[in-house]
Amino acid sequence: MQNNFMRYFILIITVLFLLIGLTNTYAQITFDVKTQMSEKQDLQNYKQGLLSAISKSGWARELETGEDYSLWLNDLNRSYQADSVIVTIIVQLRTKAMFTNGEFIDARQVWLKYHWDNAEKYASKELLNYDFDSENHSSFDETIYNLSSAAGLVTSIGFVDVTGLSDKGVQSLITGIASVLKREPSPLEILESLYLGEQSLFAAKDMVQQAPN
């Protein structure tokens, strides 16, 4: 009788530990995405891209109160090299921040580079009548891929997969950027937002994994 009790007890404890392990494995990391007030207007486009990347990630979630970390976008820089545009952003991982900036944990620089003239020519020719604001975005992934290919876009981490946004996700991205710009975003503004947003989330994941417990 006592042996049976011990076996059941050990079995229950084992199952509990397995459940705890599974919970931790699938627990989402929460971020409050922030910018400095002085840079807010300039970085809002890229913030929308980061929020879109978070929404489709499966492992991360945006949370304004009670977050695990605050994630800051800083130091936007746009430079030109021959016929190419280079856009860089610093992504900072900090402790949760409500009335302060939180404590610094780590930072990464992310960037993208593309040929402006090639991208403009492709967009004006192939995307003139493409409705990014449509409720049906079945061709959105293909459109962005073709635009990035025409632009010869490269990033700080090599290949970046920006596909997988739902129709609702695309609509949210376009609406979010439009509300910031006070106009419909151009194809290149959408392109930059998506690729820098995805890289920023990749950087955040790397920093979280390397952060001290």
**CA–CA dist 129, 140 (Å, integer):** 13
Q: Is residue 56 part of a domain?
A: yes
Q: Is residue 8 part of a domain?
A: no
| pTM score | 0.83
CB atoms closer than 10 angstroms to residue 96: 17
Q: Is residue 176 part of a domain?
A: yes
Predicted confidence at residue 39, as pLDDT, reads 92
**CA–CA dist 211, 107 (Å, integer):** 11
Q: Is residue 14 part of a domain?
A: no
Burial of 185 (0-12, 13-18, 19+ CB in 10 A): buried
User: Tokens for 80?
Assistant: 């030109």
Q: Is the pLDDT of residue 133 over 80?
A: no
Q: What is the mean pLDDT of residues 55-59?
A: 92
How many independent structural domains does the chain possess? Answer: 1
Predicted confidence at residue 125, as pLDDT, reads 85
In degrees rounded to 5, what are phi and psi of residue 107? -150, 150
Q: Is residue 7 part of a domain?
A: no
**CA–CA dist 211, 101 (Å, integer):** 18
Residue-wise pLDDT for 145-164, tens only, equals 999 999 999 999 998 888 88
Q: Is residue 24 part of a domain?
A: no
The fraction of the chain above a pLDDT of 90, given in percent, is: 52
Q: Is residue 4 part of a domain?
A: no
Q: Is residue 6 part of a domain?
A: no
Print the domain residue range for 74. Answer: 30-210
